[in-house]
Amino acid sequence: MTEFGTNLVAMVTPMQPGGGLCEPGRTQLVEHLLASGCDGLVVGGTTGESPTLSDAESAGLVRAVAAQAGNRARVIAGVGTYNTATSIRRARDAEAAGADALLLVCPYYSRPTQDGVIAHCLAVADATELPVMLYDVPARTGVAMAPSTLIELAGHPRIRAVKDAKGDLSEAMAVLSRTSLAYYCGIDELNLPYLACGAAGLVSVVGNVAAGRTAALIRAVRDGDLAEARAINDGLRPLTDTIMRAGTGAANAKAALADLGVIPHATVRLPLVEAISGPAARTPERALPTPS
């Protein structure tokens, strides 16, 4: 296991109808993921509905998951926001709560310059002793991390990985060739080509319900058995399309987990609305974020 793991899952945050956090659902989900072959749990990331979580909820989730997982998996805390001071506070809270590493998204909404992105990431990386995985997802943030930015940030001793949801394989290989950054695929539809190009692992939404199959995909590529890897990937495509291409990944993953009986409710917080699936479709929960 690396310091981040290899078969990482971007965990959903189980919630009760009405929007409160669901502790039984969280406990069941963590055990389900660990039993399925997940060795890295990303807590409070995009799929965990991080923009709607309060600081106290974020730290409490990290504390609970870290205590439950123990040494069975790495716990990576999503701490990135559009506010550097808030991101620093969440990073320090995550460190105190027992996180093994941080996931730091490029600041969103403000659309900073590349100099601003660099300053933001360095400030958060300087705030704790934890290793940092950068999260490059321009479709959500409005700003891409330029290759020169990633190369510069790689010089920081605690910035050691990238969750790449940009989808530019040529750029990823160029940065890999010039840095020691570990790359993790953050686009489930592209897991196989990223692994084939040298990615260290995956940060998967689909892994919420198929971590055993993503683990098998990683093993097949590592073993050089590309025919087996293609077969596994082809088998995953219908599930990937269902979760990632119809509505939102967080809502769809929760609906799938609820249908499987892993979590009791598929509730999401506004502005997301619950996905409707299964033979007995649920009424969408339109839960407001719990006040901080």
Return per-residue pLDDT of the chain as tens, 292 residues.
Answer: 479 999 999 999 999 999 999 999 999 999 999 999 999 999 999 999 999 999 999 999 999 999 999 999 999 999 999 999 999 999 999 999 999 999 999 999 999 999 999 999 999 999 999 999 999 999 999 999 999 999 999 999 999 999 999 999 999 999 999 999 999 999 999 999 999 999 999 999 999 999 999 999 999 999 999 999 999 999 999 999 999 988 899 999 999 999 999 999 999 999 999 997 544 334 344 454 554 4
The number of folded domains in the chain is 1
Tell me if 266 is assigned to some domain. no
The Cα 164–Cα 264 span in angstroms is 31
The Cα 211–Cα 205 span in angstroms is 9
Residue 173 is part of which domain span?
Answer: 7-260
Q: Is 108 annotated as catalytic?
A: no
Tell me if 138 is assigned to some domain. yes
pLDDT at 277: 58
pTM of the model: 0.93
- Three-state secondary structure along 137-186? CHHHHCCCCCHHHHHHHCCCCCEEEEEECCCCHHHHHHHHHHCCCEEEEC
Catalytic residue among 82, 163, 183, 254: 163
Tell me if 277 is assigned to some domain. no
Domain of 152: which CATH number?
3.20.20.70
Tell me if 271 is assigned to some domain. no
Q: Is 163 annotated as catalytic?
A: yes
The Cα 286–Cα 76 span in angstroms is 28
Catalytic residue among 82, 108, 135, 183: 135
Tell me if 276 is assigned to some domain. no
- Return the SS3 of 66: helix
For the chain, count helices (H), then strands (E).
11, 8
